Amino acid sequence: MMTARLPFPQSRRRRVWLKPLGVTLALSLVTAVAAVWLWLHPPTPLPSDASAAIGGRFNLTDEDGRAFSSDSLAGRPFALYFGFTHCPDVCPTSMSDMARLLEALGPAAAEFRVYFVSVDPERDTPELLRTYTDLFHPRLIGLTGTADEIRHVARLYHAFYAKVPTGAGDYTMDHTATIYLMAPDGRFAGTIAYGESDATALEKLRRLVGRGTGSGGRG
Amino acid sequence: MLRRTALALAGLPLLLFSGLSGALHAHEHEVRVGDLVITQPWSRATPPGARVGGGYLQVRNTGSAPDRLLSGTMAVAGRVEIHEMRMDGQVMRMRALEQGLVIPPGRTVELRPGGYHVMFMELQRPLVSGETVVGTLVFERAGQVQVQYRVGAAGAGPDGQPHRH
């Protein structure tokens, strides 16, 4: 009502309309960019935030080049870690920790496996993963897959990973360095954080492995 | 006689221990360059096919001016960078230190797993546990110095044995 009586010439009034239109377009653009960015870099909540949602079914390729389905893990506890073989520091440290803990668990953990899921499927062939995991312990099993398959597993576990260029066409990976502990029913049972003490980690593993081997127990 | 036997028995574990760790730890490798003292450079075995490895050591600055570890070389690496690994919550992030690593006067800076490391890139062959590989380090003030990295097991600690928390 007010605008109708404004004494602006026609051209000026048109520009008045153009301004909100421009703002709307700019906001849409920002939203679109944000949407694409979020799609490319999905937010990664910490594992402790939503324990119920961690884990789920996935299909990958094992270190012998065979199809691997998470269904084969049903009824058994297991541990899972995201890493890559070109990782000079945190992965070898964590894997040698796990190897030592597996030894400490003894025969009770004979059927217990730790899965090393590659976040660098481009370079991590099954063969390379087998060589790598066997360097530490025979019960560490490497898994790889297509980029989509890896992305799917990482989402299930709320794990983060990202490629970081290091110059000369080379790259490294940033990634979540947590050991995920999974119960026989496939549910999330806790984590072992990077650098956690042997005593605490061993206690967690004993409890987890006990769930799998205890017969007629606490269900 | 009895005393001698007791002594021998007491010494036995010591001998065994030194025999075990001695192979990798026979003498603490120490090099001086300018005001800097570099102690015990070591590395870890790498899996076949891996193209990177980490070099670790301690640098003590006995001078009164800060120095900076800028770069280096390693016999079987195409390229060497100085990197920092840090935990961002549960996420491991690794970055090249473009400006180098500052070694403040009167301080010792340790390059170790989970922190700073000399990053061996474009490895021409795997690093094998028990071997020694030669490299150089380049400092802003002190200049270039040759070091020998003792290679321990994959995931080993500075003594070549599996590290413990």
d(CA A175, CA B92): 5
List CB contacts (< 8 A) between B164 and chain A. 100, 198
Lowest-pLDDT range, A45-54, A157-166, B10-19, B73-82?
B10-19
**Between β-strands B132-139 and B67-74, what pairing exists: parallel, antiparallel or unpaired?**
antiparallel
pLDDT classification of B4: cutoffs 50, 70, 90: low
**Would you state the torsion angle of the CA atoms of residues A163, A169, A170, A172, taken in this order, to the nearest 10 degrees?**
-10
Token pair of A48 as six digits: 């402790």
The verdict on B121 touching A (C-beta cutoff 8 Å) is yes
Claim to verify: residue A71 and residue A22 sit in the same structural domain = no
Contact B96/A166, CB-based, under 8 Å? yes
Is the sign of the CA dihedral A179, A182, A186, A187 positive or negative? negative
Claim to verify: residue A79 and residue A137 sit in the same structural domain = yes
CA-based R_g, chain A, Å: 25
A4 lies in some domain: no
The verdict on B135 touching A (C-beta cutoff 8 Å) is no
* Global pTM exceeds 0.95: no
pLDDT classification of A16: cutoffs 50, 70, 90: low
d(CA B160, CA B149): 11
How many CA atoms does the CB half-sphere of B93 hold within 13 Å?
Answer: 10
A155 lies in some domain: yes
Write down how long chain B is: 165
pLDDT classification of A152: cutoffs 50, 70, 90: very high
**pLDDT score recorded for residue B25:** 45
A1 lies in some domain: no
Give the containing element (helix H, strand E) for A161.
strand A161-167
A24 lies in some domain: yes
**pLDDT score recorded for residue B5:** 53
Token pair of A158 as six digits: 């709320």
Residues 6+ apart with CB under 8 A from A181: A77, A79, A188, A189, A190, A191, A192, A204, A205, A208
A218 lies in some domain: no
Claim to verify: residue A36 and residue A106 sit in the same structural domain = no
Taking residues A186-212, report their average pLDDT. Answer: 92
Token pair of A169 as six digits: 């066409």
**pLDDT score recorded for residue A4:** 47
**pLDDT score recorded for residue B165:** 55
Q: Name the residue of chain B whose CA is nearest to A133's CA.
A: B47
A132 pLDDT higher than 80: yes
Lowest-pLDDT range, A1-10, A74-83, B95-104?
A1-10
Claim to verify: residue A31 and residue A80 sit in the same structural domain = no
Claim to verify: residue A154 and residue A65 sit in the same structural domain = yes
A8 pLDDT higher than 90: no
Contact B165/A196, CB-based, under 8 Å? yes
A26 lies in some domain: yes
DSSP symbols for A56-92: ---EEEETTS-EEEGGGGTTS-EEEEEE-TT--SHHH
**pLDDT digit string (tens) for B46-63?**
877 778 899 999 999 999
d(CA A198, CA B165): 6
Of A47, A131, A172, the CB nearest to B90: A47
**pLDDT score recorded for residue A7:** 47
User: B129, B153 in Cβ contact below 8 A?
Assistant: yes
pLDDT classification of B17: cutoffs 50, 70, 90: very low
Claim to verify: residue A21 and residue A109 sit in the same structural domain = no
Average pLDDT score over chain A: 84
| B67-85 per-residue burial string, b: 16 or more CB within 10 A, e: under 16 | bbbbbbbbebbebbbbbeb
Closest CA to A108 of A205, A197, A200, A40: A205
**pLDDT score recorded for residue A176:** 96
Residue B57 CA: distances (Å) to CA of B25, B118, B165: 14, 9, 19
Domains assigned to chain B:
27-152 (2.60.40.1890)
Number of domains in chain A: 2
Residue type, A219: G
The verdict on B48 touching A (C-beta cutoff 8 Å) is yes
Residue span of the structural domain in which A93 resides = 53-213
In 10 A of CB A164, how many CB atoms?
Answer: 12
Claim to verify: residue A83 and residue A162 sit in the same structural domain = yes
In a mutagenesis test of the A interface, which of B74, B82, B83, B91 is the best target, namely the one with the most A β-carbons within 10 Å? B91
- Which of the two residues, A73 and A16, has the higher pLDDT score? A73
**pLDDT score recorded for residue A47:** 47
A213 pLDDT higher than 80: no
Claim to verify: residue A161 and residue A78 sit in the same structural domain = yes
Claim to verify: residue A32 and residue A91 sit in the same structural domain = no
pLDDT classification of A2: cutoffs 50, 70, 90: very low
Residues 6+ apart with CB under 8 A from B46: B52, B53, B123, B126, B127, B154
The verdict on B50 touching A (C-beta cutoff 8 Å) is yes
How many CA atoms does the CB half-sphere of B21 hold within 13 Å?
Answer: 16
**pLDDT score recorded for residue A25:** 77
- Which of the two residues, A86 and B102, has the higher pLDDT score? B102
A48 lies in some domain: no
